[in-house]
Chain A
Amino acid sequence: SSELTQDPAVSVALGQTVRITCQGDSLTTYYASWYQQKPGQAPVLVIYGKNNRPTGIPDRFSGSSSGNTASLTITGAQAADEADYYCNSRDNSGDPYVFGPGTKVTVL
């Protein structure tokens, strides 16, 4: 079955830029979607498709993709952005959808 990999944790200084990556074979065929999850809360969609933000998601969140790697970038990170971030993708092998293991973002 296919897998998505993410760095377990990253830290960023307040107001600086952080990039979170997601790697997997399925990403050469499908776009990733990205979810923010804060403790005790349901996940929230932040990026989908090529680089689309749902209504209400700040424009400091952006997405990109190259080869087998999708990236979520937070430009000018805020304290409110401290959370776990998960990528997800369709897949043609194994299960039709797969999540990455998540990246914990700490804002210093």
Chain B
Amino acid sequence: QVQLVQSGAEVKTPGASVKVSCKASGYTFINFYIHWVRQAPGQGLEWMGIINPSTGSSTYSQRFQGRLTMTSDTSTSTVYMDLSSLKSEDTAVYYCARGPHHCSSGSCTSYFDYWGQGTLVPVS
């Protein structure tokens, strides 16, 4: 079965960096994009970025430009999300999610079908 297993919670201080891992299993790793989504306490979901695990190519939300780096390791089927210069407003649960992308008859559909369990990153 498809699983995305994330690394554990990390407490950080302002100005530090955090690197969260997301290990995939149960499917062909290089065939699906991986997205990162975060959720601040009591708030909604926020899309952060996407990585193609096969090529390592990534696109980030404008909100995180310059602070966010996503990488992939095909030998371990793991993607990483590295967020630097942390602020208290970065306190959130960070999720990875698998992102199928289908095109048919000129119409494309994208969604997030499997999610990791989430990683809590308090910044204080």
Residues of A within 8 A of B (CB): 1, 30-31, 33, 35, 37, 42-45, 48-49, 54, 84, 86, 88, 90, 94-102
Contacts and interface: CB of A to CB of B under 8 A. Distances in A.
B115 A43 contact: yes
Interface stretch (B8-16, B76-84, B103-111): B103-111
Contacts, number: 65
B45 A99 contact: yes
A102 B43 CA distance: 9
Nearest to A1: B62
13 contacts: A1-B62, A35-B112, A42-B117, A44-B115, A45-B111, A49-B102, A86-B45, A95-B61, A97-B50, A98-B47, A99-B44, A100-B44, A102-B45
Given A42-B116, A43-B95, A86-B44, A94 B62 contact: yes
Could you say which of B35, B45, B59, B109 has the most chain A C-beta atoms within 10 Å of its C-beta?
A: B45
A33 B101 CA distance: 12
Nearest to A90: B110
B37 to A, nearest CB: 8
Interface of B: 35, 37, 44-47, 50, 59, 61-63, 95, 97, 102, 107-113, 115-118
Contacts of A33: 109-112
- Please report whether the interface of chain B is mostly helix, strand, loop or mixed according to DSSP: strand
B113 A45 contact: yes
Q: Give the most central of A43, A44, A49, A95: most B CB within 10 Å.
A: A95
Given A35-B45, A97-B47, A42 B95 contact: yes
Contacts of A37: 45
A48 B44 contact: no
Given A1-B62, A42-B95, A43-B95, A99 B112 contact: no
A100 B47 CA distance: 10
The 3 closest A-B pairs by CB, nearest first: A33-B111, A48-B111, A42-B115
